[in-house]
Chains A and B, each alone.
Chain A
Amino acid sequence: MNIILNTHTGYVDVMNSKQDITLPSGITIDKILEVYEKMLMVRTLDERVWAMNRQGKVPIAASCQGHEAAQLGTLLAAEQGPECFFFTYYRDLALKFGVGLDETQIMLSYLGKEGDPYSNGRQFPLQGSDLPRNIIQLSNVVAAGMTQAVGHALASKIQNKSTVTMSFFGDGASSQGECHEAMNFAGIHKLPIIFICENNHYAISVPQKLQMAISEVSERAPGYGLEALSIDGSDLLQVYETMQKAIDLAKTFNPVLVEMNVERIMPHTSDDDHTRYRDLSEIDELTSRDPLKKLESLILENNLSSDIQIKKIKEACIERINTATTLAEAAPEPDTKTLMNNLFVE
């Protein structure tokens, strides 16, 4: 046992020596701590924008709480190559932060301010494109991005680009005709694509059993000639390992459907009240499948970090987000002279 006197806080940091934990290949303890810090940033941001919605500052927020491990675990695998491109959806804050957007840019987007990197205030927060970070486009029409992702993957294959395209969508989106068309096309042409269903078992208020007769979306994969993987999307390491497999398959032209079972911890959006359609007991239980809590337990149980370290990280996150909020609130709104701009490109 090491006892370290923390000169900043004056606390005595008690830390057991790191236990032997078997980590998947390519993952280090530092990596896990790095992802943990990102996840904490995402959670804190998510909570902050929700609070700012209640203050009347952020017009709309779709919470990512419960989905963070699915998205960050995917990026962890994607980091190892080949180059990946993303067609995300509106519940993908973790992915959008994970690819490198900073908290100030995110705040600018939530507030619809000048400098929003996605659309400069034309669309809902974080909708549009973030091309420098390989986020191609996000449609607010549920499942419309799926056929586009297939087209993107088709173009990669035609042009011999060794890349993988990822299409993120919800369980509700899986009912759309375009979901069927997208998977069918990808299967026929054996495209380098991964369909990632973040199954939180609700589409706003409609539960999965009213959305489909099957218990897992991934059961449909064989019907399209896709590989299927179905996992616990709240478990970071499971997501990472699964996505490694999925990327290996996709890059060798075996399109995959990965179903990540997650929980939507918050209501659908800041305009929703999920107590209208969910039992309180169900809502209470959601935290047991909270990916952040799970990752925190993994870290603490294996002594990868200490309570005090974690407390410090949390404080630092709040500090960063406070600064971002101040900056974004002070930023100007988009100039009304830009209203008609960029309807077409040259």
Chain B
Amino acid sequence: MAFASKKDDEGLSAYYNNKTTVIQEARVFNDSPISPRKCRALLTRVVHLLYIGESFSTQEATTLFFGTTKLFQHKDSALRQMVYLAIKELAGTAEDVIMVTSSIMKDMQPNSEVIYRPNSIRALCRIIDPSMAQGVERFFKAAIVDKTPSISSAALVSSYHLFPNAKDVVKRWANEAQEAVNAKSSTSLFGSSTGGGYLSGWGGSAGQQSSGYQAVPSASYITQYHALGLLYLIRQQDRMAVTKMIQQLGGGKTGAGTTLKNPMALCMLIRYAAKVLEEDPNVQKQMLDLLDGWLKHKSDMVNLEAARVICEMKNVPTFQLMRAIGVLQLFLSSPKATLRFAATRTLAALAVTHPSNVASVNVDLENLISDSNRSVATYAITTLLKTGNEASVDRLMKQISGFMNDISDEFKVIVVDAIRSLCLKFPDKHVSMLSFLSGVLRDEGGYDFKRAVVEAIFEMVKYISACREQALSHLCEFIEDCEFTKLSVRILHLLGIEGPKAPQPTKYIRFIYNRVVLENATVRAAAVGSLAKFGLNSNDAGLKKSIDTLLNRCLDDVDDEVRDRAAMYLRLFRESFLADTYVKEESVFSLDALESKLVSYVNDPSASIVPFDASSIPKISRAQAAAEVARPSSLETVGVPAKKEAAATPQLSAVEAQSAYIQQLKEVPELATYGEVLGSSKPAQLTESETEYQVSCVKHTFAEHIVFQFNVSNTIPDTVLEQVAVVMQPLTESNLTEDFIIPLPSLSSTTSPGIVYVSFTRDSPEEYASGSFQCVLKFISKEVDPATGEPEEDGYEDEYQLEEVELGAGDYIIPTYVTFSSEWDRLRGGASATETFSLSAMESLKAACDSIIEILNMQALGGTEDPSSTSVHTLQLAGLVVGAGGAGKALVRCRMTYSKAQGVTLELSVRAEKEEACSLVVSAIGG
């Protein structure tokens, strides 16, 4: 790597390649006559400094830049190329770089010598600003299809860099890029576009000799790779076009008809195919056929890429998967380490999901466990750990212990993760695994490695009770000498939870108290919390007393946090109801919701006159909270090479979605005066899934308004919709008055989805308005002229019937978690109501539970959403009812019976902090 070389060079040329010296010596640029040799050497040093990460100030860069431009048009071709390199590197920092535009353009022209054209094209794209792209369009179009590969490549790569800032212009170069991809033979020996320039080179004068450039025919066809990259960049928003491109360039079923000769271009094509596959299951068959063909391609690179894509695919047919594994198997015995590495790495990832299929190459993997390339050996062993049986575990672990010290932390983490998943698969092996883990915990290693080990031990504590005590002891020993504060804190927390339940809680106290004496403030504070839990959760009076003494000592700590914690816990010791709330309570605030409310509270200066109101923040159970932060279960992550981004985008949780909505609505000026959004529904689909226009609706509840957000997608590539609006017609008296519609000025397939808002005022905000609305999508449809990319003048008005939108009780309720029994008791004196309903149409208790939860949008508690009996059941629900005067809790108890004859009979009881909330719930079920 470039940066690594900085160190090596230091002794040799620290002075020679020092920034200040270089800037001083830049005087040579002004010498007359110019010395090409000196200037070239100096420019090399400038570029070298930039490559190793040295940075120049704007002024220094500008001075060097202008000095460099004085060398322009020098007849020494090596100097001229160096000038271009320096200009490219300095262009980012120097000022007024636009000065060289005319000079560079001169070198780009077809009558310029071939050697300068690629250099100048590449330099130009660093110099010009996006508004000038239009001006060079004609030139770029010609250069992209130039027969000289270096010119064509330079133009393609430069277009690629220009694209982000000049999309509309570069998009128009797609035809040329397509031509460059297809170029049958990149160049013939004499095919240079400069014609006679070099042919008459011999016997010519001195001047001509310097231009004796030979257009080297490209054997690599690298231009195809560059052209494909640009084409994809232009088309990536349009899945249909990408699919077509893959089919066309893929070369038919066997792949034999492809015009792509460059293996890197084919690898890119395979990656695009993988992306399309993931997004559109309909093309699976065609794409798999293509991939199958590429497995037999003559280039290793292409085979590997195709095999990897097949292995990473979801629901791939077994025979196809086995073919990919077969290809990888061949590479396992390759003399080239890179091929063995690529193959084992792919197999290691595949072993997580398909261990039995991978097991078919176990024999070949066995041969690699002592591979001289430790990375290959590590992957081979971790793969075998996943595919092998219990009997082989000990042997493999011994093998790998042998070279744990030879491999990098990154690979150590892979090994540890493999062991971690093995613990769960073969719990009986816990003794040897725990001793392996505790052993490596003592080894040297960085944070990531140590964290992996600690987390693996955590998981053993959690799932394998037989080794719990032993594991906790190892952790205690580890924190005696742990340099990572974060890990100490996590271990202390775990000890606080698990320790008091252990047969001999007292044996952990010493380790924990040592932290209070020896460590930094963060760790000391964690230790105080941990100690306190032993005192609070134990029935042993003696233990309680000693903890009390220890905490009292902490009151003298120099750190505020440590003292405060000690003082707080001592108070909890005396007042047990506080202990119930702060230590034993099972629900916690949803952190995402708490964060976003706090952020908007802090950002709104006018809000600071009233205290922060936590009542509208939903709560979740500790288990849920743990699930939210948990990393994916180890079984899924073991040894998987870094996942592609697509797979990593998780479904937004409801709370995260809510935070996103708050942000989004804040950016709409028309809604600025509405205040904070109180709640938002899940999106409801208003169209069939395969229609031309797709619309979904999200309802946002504000204190005095309801805002309907319509997400509209236009799936037709060649039309633009203008003045897109949704017209809503209440079907019943709704107590809502329409304020306005915020239409979308224009919507194309690439800008989809767009948002249309419709706002209503709640006529009487203390009531919960409800009703159904008929919705119609209206717009003006215009064709797009394929030549210019602009919509045509004339369009026609059109409309499209959508499904109805319902506003109901659920739109005023946010699900929240509570401890049902105690909360139900507490609300005994509040508003309450009980009614009985006969739901004769319901076919089961489960169906009744589902529809009640859906209507009320409340949180089902204690697993009561899944009835265990088919005849009697009690469903318990909790929610926050949002209203003008803040939110209030509402709890619902649904006692149900079911019989074939009568369907479901429901006794609905509600207890709420506010009267309106009670009637809202009852009317929602009754009405």
Is B a genuine binding partner of A?
A: no
Which residues does A use to contact B, with CB under 8 Å? none
